[in-house]
Amino acid sequence: MVNNSKAFKLAKYAIMFATIFIAMMIDRGISAALPISMAICVLLVTFGFCFIQNSWADGIAAFTCFGIASFIKAFIFPDGIQWYYKILVYIVPRVLAGVMCFGAYRLMLLAVGRVKKRRVAQIAAMTVAIAVGLVSNTVFFLLPFSYLSENGNGFVAAIEGLVFINILPEYLTSLIIAPWVVLGVRRGLKLGVDGNNWRTLAAKDTDNSQDQTNSQTN
């Protein structure tokens, strides 16, 4: 059964945020034992939530939760950015990255629409979209971060320094694993290969509710 009530959606997004925040803290714990800061878990979880239901609302919500979690973490582990700039550094860039990511996914679905093997089409669409999301997240985050922390002088240096020790592992992990995780979750939740079955189930729930209301009235 699919529930479209406001309470259900609120609970869904609360679980989404909690899961993303926990994944971020796991990354933080792992990074404490390493000389670098990794974001592998949180990126996998964020992309997973972004594509599970093939919904613009969920796609943007996933990255918004990612941004809010980063915003909160910045207060728990201070980074030198003034508090009144933190929204511009942590939340706004992630929302924009979410728009770019899910927009690329929908465009890719149109581009591979004639591919008969739907699983292959989905993997191709998600892989390209994840690449767009990763690059967008990196650029949109590092630009304001480097400007506010080092007056803009650290952006190129940050990119060069992070390519092999941070960006490359995070990118490869997300590109290789995330599409398969999404397909697996869709199968487990019976959402279909395309993640669109929830719309059919929601329509059936609405029809059933109307039938029950009509029967009670009669």
pLDDT in tens, 110-161: 999 899 899 999 999 999 999 999 999 988 988 888 777 665 555 555 555 5
Residue 88 has pLDDT above 70, yes or no: yes
Flag whether 206 is in a domain: no
Q: Whole-number mean pLDDT of the chain? A: 85
Global pTM reads: 0.84
Flag whether 45 is in a domain: yes
pLDDT in tens, 162-177: 555 677 888 999 999 9
pLDDT in tens, 196-210: 887 765 555 554 544
- Calpha distance 174→169 (Å, rounded): 9
Structurally, the chain folds into a number of domains equal to 1
pLDDT of residue 165: 65
Flag whether 217 is in a domain: no
Q: Which domain holds residue 23?
A: 6-201
Question: What does the block give as tokens for 50?
Answer: 């972004």
- Calpha distance 56→103 (Å, rounded): 8
pLDDT of residue 207: 47
